[in-house]
């Protein structure tokens, strides 16, 4: 996977470094939509020279270059997504888990806004109770 993350960075015009490759690899292999602090906590044991500042700077660079997405789901913390294809998200209001939701007709969803608006970002968010939490409450 490291090679895939390295190649992905090069394709996006980002100069690879150990830290950048590690952050990108983490986002490509962990579909949990992590925060910067979660990424730091996961990578620090493997890269003890890593700092939170480096993780934040790396994430900002990846976002600027269009390599990852920021999610405006959590009002307190920015979450990141390594999947840049157009898709929606489902947020469980009980456990906080965020899952990807495929979008059957992305062009339709993107085109709903009135043409008079200069839309720069579209995020599709569903909220509710996930199946695991629904089962827990019923048992």
pLDDT at position 139 over 60: no
Let me know whether 38 and 20 are in one domain. yes
Let me know whether 70 and 28 are in one domain. yes
CB atoms within 10 A of CB 100: 14
What is the rounded distance in angstroms from the CA atom of residue 19 to the CA atom of residue 43? Answer: 9
Average pLDDT, integer, range 80-87: 95
The alpha carbon dihedral of 87, 88, 91, 92 has a sign of: negative
Query: Taking a C-beta distance cutoff of 8 angstroms, is the pair 85, 121 a contact?
Result: no
What is the rounded distance in angstroms from the CA atom of residue 80 to the CA atom of residue 98? Answer: 11
* Total domains, the chain: 2
Let me know whether 60 and 128 are in one domain. no
Let me know whether 92 and 77 are in one domain. no
Instruction: Write the pLDDT tens digit of every residue in 87-136.
Output: 999 999 999 999 999 999 988 888 888 889 888 888 899 999 999 999 87
Domain range for 119 is 88-138
CB atoms within 10 A of CB 120: 5
Instruction: Write the pLDDT tens digit of every residue in 41-79.
Output: 999 999 999 999 999 999 999 999 999 999 988 788 999
98-101 vs 69-71, strand pairing mode: unpaired
């Amino acid at each position: 996977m490291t090679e895939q993350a390295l190649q992905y960075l090069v394709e996006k015009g980002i100069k690879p470094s150990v830290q950048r490759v590690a952050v990108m690899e983490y986002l490509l292999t962990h579909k949990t939509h992590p925060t910067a602090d979660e990424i730091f906590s996961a990578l620090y044991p493997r890269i003890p020279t890593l700092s939170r500042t480096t993780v934040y700077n790396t994430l900002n660079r990846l976002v600027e270059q269009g390599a990852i997405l920021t999610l405006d789901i959590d009002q307190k913390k920015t979450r990141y997504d390594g999947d840049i294809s157009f898709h929606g998200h489902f947020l469980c209001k009980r456990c906080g888990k965020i899952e990807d939701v495929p979008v059957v007709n992305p062009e339709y969803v993107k085109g709903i806004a009135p043409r008079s608006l200069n839309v720069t970002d579209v995020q599709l968010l569903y909220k509710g109770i996930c199946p695991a939490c629904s089962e827990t409450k019923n048992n």
